Structure 1
Amino acid sequence: MSDSIDDPGHGHSPAAWTAVVIMLVAVTLGTLFFFLDMPALVWASAGLLAVGGIVGWAMARAGYGAHGDKYTPKQH
């Protein structure tokens, strides 16, 4: 682990957490719908996966990313 204040955050930002949670839900639902043979909902889950990436990008651009002005890293 790095004790440097210049540590990029390694995904410990609100933007990263939000994107990962949305994508994790999308993959979980997609897997469930694939198992239950519901192709329309599998594709909807794929769309939700893309939404997760877009939300993460948008939040990072809004300042909630690792180097954003609205994000303050927590000391460990």
Structure 2
Amino acid sequence: MSKAPVSAPKPAAGTGYSYDDIDHREPTGHGNSPAAWTTVMVMLVGALIMSIAFVLANTTIFIVGGVVLLIGLAIGFVMRKAGYGVGGSKLKNSGH
């Protein structure tokens, strides 16, 4: 086995991209907030309803599932504006 150090491949010349331009000092978040979790849960219920309706070939229930998905988006937007999103005024985020 070689004892040479292993390094990441360098980007192609002239691409304008460099691995050194990435700033990892600030955490990215990941949407860990009550608004995000509520939105995801409501939208998962909507997707489940739509999936069951698809198997049953029921258009009405399928549309109801789509409406539940849209309601989930609206709930997330309203909760974020109310201060329950990442960095919101109602939360004291201390990280993960």
What TM-score does the superposition give when structure 2 sets the normalisation length? 0.68
- Give identity over the alignment, percent: 36
Q: Which consecutive residues of structure 2, in runs of 5 or more, have no partner in the other structure?
A: 1-24
Q: State the partner residue of 2:49.
A: 29
**Which stretch of structure 1 is more off in the superposition, 66-75 or 50-59?**
66-75
Selected match of 1:38 from 52, 58, 62: 58
Task: Give the number of the structure with larger relative contact order, counting CA–CA contacts within 8 Å between residues 6 or more apart.
Answer: 1
Distance 2:49 2:68 in 1: 10
Secondary structure class of the residue paired with 1:20: helix
Distance 1:33 1:74 in 2: 41
Secondary structure class of the residue paired with 1:73: coil
Q: Which consecutive residues of structure 1, in runs of 5 or more, have no partner in the other structure?
A: none
CA RMSD in angstroms, aligned pairs only: 1.8
Q: Would the alpha carbon gap of residues 74 and 36 (structure 1) be closer, same or farther in structure 2, given more than 3 Å must change?
A: farther
Secondary structure class of the residue paired with 2:87: coil
Q: Would the alpha carbon gap of residues 71 and 9 (structure 1) be closer, same or farther in structure 2, given more than 3 Å must change?
A: farther
CA contact (8 A) 2:87 2:93 kept: no
TM-fit CA distance, 1:38: 1.1
What TM-score does the superposition give when structure 1 sets the normalisation length? 0.85
Secondary structure class of the residue paired with 2:31: coil
Task: Report the structure, 1 or 2, having the larger helix content.
Answer: 1
TM-fit CA distance, 1:9: 2.7
The answer to whether structure 1 residue 15 and structure 2 residue 24 are counterparts is: no
